[in-house]
Structures are given as structure tokens and as C-alpha cells.
Amino acid sequence: MVLTLVDKITADLKTAMKAKDDKIRVSTLRLIVAALKDRDIAARANDQCCGLKDDDVLAILTKMVKQREESAKTYEEAGRIELAEQEREEIEVIRTYLPAQLSDTEIDSAVEMVIDDLDADGLKDMGRCMGALKQRYQGAMDFSKANQRVKERLSQ
């Protein structure tokens, strides 16, 4: 039987609680499970009975990482280094469930490939390009970097 990402995270939370892992790992896994349940409940309210798919989970996890990066930056600017470190520790736990991030070079080649595949030739095609990148590389790419690269490439 193949475990979904939701099943793996839930099982990891149970294991971490039983093993009395460090508090950051347990609390972060609880936050992830809560966010997944919130999204699942919202999907059911909108008559989407299928539950969360792995792509949905990756989108949630990516958003959680981005939120924590912004929080860590804000804490550092405010001189709250201990809180910034806690945010970074949470990021590390969340990233264990995300695919490996693409390097800048890999992002550049992915952008080129999508632009070629879609025959994009101007900024009017930016939405299509970003949609294709998000579909192909969900959770594995920093889309703010990709957006910038697509914009640069299409405006040439």
C-alpha cells in the first residue's frame, strides 16, 4: 500500500510523540497536521469530497515555509534572534516533506524548457508559463525566482 503524504506526516507525528522527540519537531508536525485538516475541511465544505492530494499538501507546505522565512526575517530585524532560530528549525522540519529544491541553474533551464514547450513569445504568455511551472515543479521550485526569470526572458 502506498502512503500519501498526509498519511506519512500523520504517522511521523505519532512516532515523534511516542519517541518524545524534540519539542520543535512535534509542535511543527502538529501545525502541519492542523493546516492539512483545515484545508481538508474547507475542501469538503466546497463539495470536493476526494480529500487532499499530494499536490495540495506540497502547496500547503511550501506556503508554510515561506511564512516562516518571512517571520524569521522580521524577528531578526527586531533583534529577536531566538525566535528567528525557532522559525528556521520549523522550516527544516517542514522541508523534510518537500522535494529537493531546484538550484538557480535548474530553475533557468526549467523556465527555458517551459517557454519553448508553450511557444511563449511575450509577457502576455507569462500566466501560462507560470501555470505550467507550478504544475510541473510544485514544491520543488521557488516560484518568486521563477516568476522573475520568466518575466526577464519574455520581455527580451
Mean pLDDT of 114-142: 86
With 60 as the cut, is the pLDDT of residue 93 above it? yes
State whether residue 139 is helix, strand or coil.
coil
Read off the pTM.
0.76
Question: What's the rounded Cα separation, in Å, for the pair 149 and 124?
Answer: 15
Q: What are the residue ranges of helices labelled H in 78-121?
A: 81-95, 104-118
Of the three residues 49, 73, 95, the one that is the final residue of a domain is 95
How many structural domains comprise the chain? Answer: 2
Give the CA count within 13 Å in the CB-facing half-sphere of 81. 0
Mean pLDDT of 124-140: 86
Beta-carbon contacts of residue 59 (< 8 Å; ≥ 6 apart) = 138, 139
The pLDDT of residue 121: 84
Q: Which residue has the higher pLDDT, 1 or 70?
A: 70
Mean pLDDT of 143-155: 87
The pLDDT of residue 29: 94
- The CATH number assigned to the domain holding 29 equals 1.10.1510.10
Q: For residues 83 and 34, state if they share a domain.
A: yes
Q: For residues 86 and 11, state if they share a domain.
A: yes
68-104 burial code (b ≥16 CB/10 A, e <16): beebbeebeeeeeeeebebbbbbbebbbebbeeebee
The pLDDT of residue 31: 95
Across 78-87, 111-120, 122-131, 133-142, which has the greatest mean pLDDT? Answer: 78-87
The domain containing residue 130 runs over which residues?
Answer: 104-154
The pLDDT of residue 9: 92
52 neighbors 6 (Cβ within 8 angstroms): yes
Span 33-69, pLDDT tens digits: 999 999 888 877 776 656 778 888 888 998 999 999 9
